[in-house]
Structure 1
Amino acid sequence: MTSDHFSIWKRREALAEAMIPMIGRLYRERDVTILVHSRSLVNKSVISIIKTHRYVRQIEERGLAVEETFPILEILSGLDLGPSRIDIGKLAIAFATDNGGKTLEQFVTDAVAPATGENKIVREGPTDVVLYGFGRIGRLLARLLVEKSGSGNGLRLRAVVVRKGSDDDLIKRASLLRRDSIHGQFNGSIHVDAENDVICANGNEIKVIYSNDPTSIDYTEYGIKDAILVDNTGIWRDREGLSKHLRPGIAKVVLTAPGKGDVKNIVHGVNQNTITADDNVISCASCTTNAIVPPLKVINDEYGIARGHVETVHSFTNDQNLLDNFHKGNRRGRSAPLNMVLTETGAASAIAKALPELEAHISGSSIRVPTPDVSMAILNLDLEKETTAEELNTYLRQVSLHSPLKRQIDFTTSSDAVSTDFVGSRHASIVDANATIVNGKNAIVYLWYDNEFGYSCQVVRVVQHISGVEYPLFPQD
C-alpha cells in the first residue's frame, strides 16, 4: 500500500513539473492566468501546485488531482488565447459532472471561446502605476504589481514616492522590499541602480522619487503618463487633499484608507461598478470594511439583516506604540505587543457607503491584539428569516465557490485553523465554518482576514478594474 501511494505521488510530481512551463508561457506571452478554484498557479512550485489541487477537497464534495487538470492545460496551450483568467480546476469538475456528451477538447474550447481568436482582448500597451508611500501596504502592492506584470501590457509599476530618510535610503527601501518578517522573501530578484535612484525587481525598473510635497512633482519628467497613483500614506483622505496628486502624468488617484466626504469607498466585488470614467479620486475603504461588506451583502441578499454588531479582533499596526507613550488616541498609546487594546473602528459606519442597500443599523468596536498580522471579524446578526448553522454554512460555501464574490469570500472547514494559517490569503475574508453559531434568527459568523495582504489584493483589483486590466474569468458561472 505504501509503495502505491508513493507511485501516485511521483506521477503527480512529474505532471505538476510539466505544468510549470506551460503555465509560465501562457502568463508571460498572453497574460493568461491559470487558476485552480480561484488560486493562481503562476510562479508556483511543484509542491504548491499539488497542494492547491489537494485543497479543493475542503470546498468541493470531491477531491481534484493533477491527472484531471493536466490535459486541460495542454488543450489551453494550443489555443489562440487572449488575456484572461482560466480556472482549470472548475473546468475539470464541470466536465466530470456534466460534459453534455462533448470530448474534453470540445468542452474546454467552447468554455473559453470568448477569450480566443477574434473575441480576445487586445491591449496596446501597459497602464502606469505610481505608489505614493512605501510602508506595509505600499511594499505589498509593489510585490503584487511586479508579480502581475505578465507580458508587460497590464499594470506597470513605474515609481514610488517617499521622503528621503537617510543617505542610504534607496538601499534600505530595497531591503525592506526584499525581506519581510511576516510575508517572507520577495519571490524573485531585486537589485539597486543607485546612480539613477532605481530599484529593479524582476526586470521592472521602479524609480524612487524623493519628495515631501505632492504638488512639486511633474511625473511626465520620468516618462510617466496617464498613471494611476495609489496613496498608501493616509495623510489625505478627502477630495481636496487627494487632488493634490493630480499632477502632470497622473490620471487617477486611489486611496488605501477610508475616504471622507464625497470620495467613493469601493469594495471590489460589491460596488466597483459604481466607478465612472469621471471618477478621478476614489478610496478602497479599510481592510476591515473589505472583510465584512462582501459577507454582509450575501447574507442580507439571502436572509435579510434587521440589525447587527461587528466586533473585530485586529492585529496591532504601526500607528500604535511599542511601549507606553503619548498617542492622540485614548488607548492606542499603550504598548501594542503587551496588551489587548480596546479601540474604535470606522468599519461599521463605512458599510453605508459601500453597501447603501443594507438599511439595518450595524454597530462596531475593535480590540487590537499582540499579533503582527491576520485579524478576525465577528458578525453578530439579527436576521429577518430563521435558518440553521448548517444551512447558512452551505450557502456561504456555495457563495465562495460559484458567486461573483468568490475572490472576496473564502471558506474553511478546518477544525484546527488559527490566525497564522491565513497569512498571505488573497481573499478579503475567510468564513470559519466550524465557528458559525445560529439560533433561529440570530447568526454569529466568524471571519478571518489578512489585514495586510488580503487587503492589498483588493486594492490591486480596484486598480485593475479602473485600468481595464481586470480580465474575464472562465468558466463563466
Structure 2
Amino acid sequence: MTVNDDSFTNWKNREEIAESMIPLIGKLHRERDVTVLLHSRSLVNKSVVSILKTHRFARQIAGAELSVTETMPFLKALTTLDLGPSQIDLGMLATMYKADERGLSVEEFTAEAVAGATGANKIDRREPRDVVLYGFGRIGRLVARLLIEKAGSGNGLRLRAIVVRGGGAQDIVKRASLLRRDSIHGQFQGTITVDEDSSTIVANGNAIKVIYADDPSSVDYTQYGIRDAILIDNTGKWRDREGLSEHLRPGIDKVVLTAPGKGDVPNIVHGVNHDTIKPDEQILSCASCTTNAIVPPLKAMDDEYGVLRGHVETVHSFTNDQNLLDNYHKAERRGRSAPLNMVITETGAASAVAKALPDLKAKISGSSIRVPVPDVSIAILNLQLARETTREEVHDYLREVSLTSPLKRQIDFTTAPDAVSSDFIGSRHASIVDAGALKVDGDNAILYLWYDNEFGYSCQVVRVVQHVSGVEYPTYPATAV
C-alpha cells in the first residue's frame, strides 16, 4: 500500500469516527444541556469535516494534531454519566489524561474530571429566558444567528422579538432575507420562513415577533407574552443610564448595550470583569469590539509581566457610520469614501480599558485607522513591561493562556505563517494572537491581535447575556485560575 493509500484510509477512518460523534454530541446538547467543546470550540451542530478541522487546528496551538481516535473514548464516557447542564472540553480531557500518571481508565478519569456536573453536584436546568433585540443591523442580525443556534436544548436564551422602525412594503420579508444571507458571514445555517400576517419570522422553529416602534416608550412587551426579558440595544442611540432606562418597559428586566456605555454604565468584557456584575444591575454595556479585543490579552500580560504603559493602534475595517462615497459627515475624515481610503480616526477603546480593568495602573493611549476591508481588524498593542523577558517566553505564555486559562474563550492563538485578515472571519474569540508577528525586546512587547469586529464581538455579547440570565453553565474540566 502506498503512502497516498495509507493517508486516504486514515482519513476515511477518522471521517467515520467523526460521523459517529455527531449524534452523541447532539443528544447530550438536546437532552442534558451539555455543550461539547474542543479547546473551547463548540462541536454542537458541526459537520463531519468541521469536527475533523477543529481537531486538526489543535496542532497550531498545542503543537500536535488531536485525533478523533483520542477524543472519542472521552465522548463515549460522557454519555454514560448522569450529567447536568455544563460545557465539557474534550481537548482538555485528552490533554490532562495524557499528563495523568495514576493509571486510571478513560472512564474513571472522565468521571472524576467532570464530577462537578454529575449526580448530586449537577445544577438544575434553567427556564428559558426571553431576549429582545432592539435594532436589527449588522450586530443585531449576528446576535440573532447566535441566539437561534444556541436554542437547541430549549432551556437557554430564547429570542422572542426584534424591534425596528417601520420600513414600508415587504419590510419583514427584506429583514428576513438579510438574516438569511450575509455577504461576509455566508448563509444562515437552517431554515427561515415569514408570516407577514402575524409579523413573525420563524427561524429553525423559533418564532420571532417583529415589533415596529419609533422609540422605546411606545412598546408594551407583555402584550406579546414576553416576561422578564433581556433587551439588547444594537442601535447605539442611547448610551447613558437615563437614555437606556427608557427600555425598562413592561416585560423587560435588563438592558444590554452593544456599544461603549457612558457615565456610570458598567462596561463589561466577558472573561475579564463579567463576574463584577451586580445581580440587581439592570443596565450594562458590552463596550466596543476593540475594547473586547485588547482587554483580555492586556490583562494576561499584566498578570504575568506587569504593564507600565501602552499604546494600541487599531487597523479597523470600515463600518456603516462611514460614507460609501465622499459626502458630508459630522465627524472629521469619515465623510471620505470608506472603500477607497485609509481613514485616520479616533478610538475610545484605550479610555474604556479603565472601566474593564480598574486595577491596571498603566496609562494606555490609542488611535485608529479605518481601512477598505468589510470585516476583521487588527490591534497592535505596544507595551512597556515591568520586567524584561524574551520572545520565546511570551510566545509560550500566550499560547498556554489560549489553551488552559480562564481567558481561553476570549484569546485565540495562531502560528499560521501566511495568515491574513479574511482567515479570521467567523472567529468566536475576542482576539487572536498572531504568533509570527509577535515582537519582544527586553521590557518591550508588541502584540498583533486579529479580531472579527462583527462576529467575535457578537459572541462576547451573547456570553454576557448568558451570564446575566443565569444560563452560562460551568466548564469542565476546571482550569487553573
TM-score interval for Structure 1 and Structure 2 normalised by the shorter chain: over 0.9
User: What corresponds to 2:321 in structure 1?
Assistant: 319
State the SS of the aligned residue for 1:199: strand
User: What corresponds to 1:37 in structure 2?
Assistant: 39
Q: 2:223 pairs with 204, 221, 234, which one?
A: 221
Question: Given the alignment of the two structures, is residue 203 of structure 1 paired with residue 197 of structure 2, yes or no?
Answer: no
Question: Given the alignment of the two structures, is residue 258 of structure 1 paired with residue 256 of structure 2, yes or no?
Answer: no
Deviations 1:232-275 (A, max 9, x none): 10000000000000000000000000000000000000111110
Distance (whole Å) between structure 2 residues aligned to residue 141 and residue 208 of structure 1: 15
Distance (whole Å) between structure 2 residues aligned to residue 33 and residue 98 of structure 1: 24
- Post-superposition shift, 1:407? 0.4
Question: Given the alignment of the two structures, is residue 88 of structure 1 paired with residue 80 of structure 2, yes or no?
Answer: no
Distance (whole Å) between structure 1 residues aligned to residue 212 and residue 365 of structure 2: 41
Read off the aligned partner of 2:34 and give its amino acid letter: V
Deviations 1:378-416 (A, max 9, x none): 011111111111111111111111110000001111110
TM norm structure 1: 0.99
Which is worse superposed, 116-125 or 204-213?
116-125
> Contact 1:430–1:448 (CA<8 Å) still a contact in 2?
yes
Deviations 1:185-231 (A, max 9, x none): 00111101111111000000000000001011110000000000000
> Contact 1:236–1:242 (CA<8 Å) still a contact in 2?
yes
> Contact 2:126–2:470 (CA<8 Å) still a contact in 1?
no
User: What corresponds to 1:56 in structure 2?
Assistant: 58
Question: Given the alignment of the two structures, is residue 454 of structure 1 paired with residue 456 of structure 2, yes or no?
Answer: yes
> Contact 1:408–1:428 (CA<8 Å) still a contact in 2?
yes
Q: 1:18 pairs with 17, 20, 25, which one?
A: 20
- Post-superposition shift, 1:97? 2.1
State the SS of the aligned residue for 1:404: coil
User: What corresponds to 1:371 in structure 2?
Assistant: 373
- Post-superposition shift, 1:281? 0.3
Question: Given the alignment of the two structures, is residue 268 of structure 1 paired with residue 270 of structure 2, yes or no?
Answer: yes
Read off the aligned partner of 1:278 and give its amino acid letter: D
CA RMSD for the aligned pairs?
Answer: 0.8
Question: Given the alignment of the two structures, is residue 46 of structure 1 paired with residue 51 of structure 2, yes or no?
Answer: no
Distance (whole Å) between structure 2 residues aligned to residue 375 and residue 99 of structure 1: 43
User: What corresponds to 2:300 in structure 1?
Assistant: 298
Alignment of 1:154-169 (within 5 A): 154-169=156-171
User: What corresponds to 2:465 in structure 1?
Assistant: 463
Distance (whole Å) between structure 2 residues aligned to residue 302 and residue 91 of structure 1: 26
User: What corresponds to 1:192 in structure 2?
Assistant: 194
User: What corresponds to 1:415 in structure 2?
Assistant: 417
Q: 1:74 pairs with 68, 71, 76, which one?
A: 76
State the SS of the aligned residue for 2:326: coil
User: What corresponds to 2:121 in structure 1?
Assistant: 119
State the SS of the aligned residue for 1:196: coil
- Post-superposition shift, 1:90? 1.4
Question: Given the alignment of the two structures, is residue 399 of structure 1 paired with residue 401 of structure 2, yes or no?
Answer: yes
User: What corresponds to 2:282 in structure 1?
Assistant: 280
Distance (whole Å) between structure 2 residues aligned to residue 406 and residue 27 of structure 1: 21
Distance (whole Å) between structure 2 residues aligned to residue 312 and residue 99 of structure 1: 46
State the SS of the aligned residue for 1:8: helix
User: What corresponds to 2:4 in structure 1?
Assistant: 2
Deviations 1:22-43 (A, max 9, x none): 1111111111111111111111
> Contact 1:162–1:209 (CA<8 Å) still a contact in 2?
yes
Question: Given the alignment of the two structures, is residue 385 of structure 1 paired with residue 407 of structure 2, yes or no?
Answer: no
Distance (whole Å) between structure 1 residues aligned to residue 86 and residue 266 of structure 2: 28
> Contact 1:305–1:360 (CA<8 Å) still a contact in 2?
yes
User: What corresponds to 1:339 in structure 2?
Assistant: 341
- Post-superposition shift, 1:123? 2.7
> Contact 2:376–2:452 (CA<8 Å) still a contact in 1?
yes
Read off the aligned partner of 2:345 and give its amino acid letter: T
> Contact 2:126–2:156 (CA<8 Å) still a contact in 1?
no
> Contact 1:197–1:207 (CA<8 Å) still a contact in 2?
yes
Distance (whole Å) between structure 2 residues aligned to residue 200 and residue 78 of structure 1: 35
Which is worse superposed, 118-127 or 446-455?
118-127
- Post-superposition shift, 1:124? 4.8
TM norm structure 2: 0.98
Distance (whole Å) between structure 1 residues aligned to residue 113 and residue 302 of structure 2: 32
Distance (whole Å) between structure 2 residues aligned to residue 304 and residue 125 of structure 1: 42
Which is worse superposed, 252-261 or 436-445?
436-445
- Post-superposition shift, 1:20? 0.7
State the SS of the aligned residue for 2:466: helix
- Post-superposition shift, 1:177? 0.3
> Contact 1:99–1:107 (CA<8 Å) still a contact in 2?
no
> Contact 1:29–1:150 (CA<8 Å) still a contact in 2?
no
Change (3 A) 1:124 1:266: closer
Alignment of 1:415-454 (within 5 A): 415-454=417-456
Distance (whole Å) between structure 1 residues aligned to residue 334 and residue 126 of structure 2: 49
Read off the aligned partner of 1:387 and give its amino acid letter: T
State the SS of the aligned residue for 2:147: helix
User: What corresponds to 2:145 in structure 1?
Assistant: 143
State the SS of the aligned residue for 1:264: coil
Distance (whole Å) between structure 2 residues aligned to residue 273 and residue 232 of structure 1: 23
> Contact 2:126–2:471 (CA<8 Å) still a contact in 1?
no
User: What corresponds to 1:472 in structure 2?
Assistant: 474
User: What corresponds to 1:174 in structure 2?
Assistant: 176
- Post-superposition shift, 1:441? 1.0
Read off the aligned partner of 2:283 and give its amino acid letter: V
- Post-superposition shift, 1:63? 2.2
- Post-superposition shift, 1:72? 1.2
- Post-superposition shift, 1:61? 3.2
- Post-superposition shift, 1:88? 0.9
State the SS of the aligned residue for 1:195: coil
Count of paired positions? 477
State the SS of the aligned residue for 2:344: strand
Read off the aligned partner of 1:135 and give its amino acid letter: G
State the SS of the aligned residue for 1:386: strand
Question: Given the alignment of the two structures, is residue 247 of structure 1 paired with residue 242 of structure 2, yes or no?
Answer: no
Q: 2:110 pairs with 89, 108, 111, which one?
A: 108
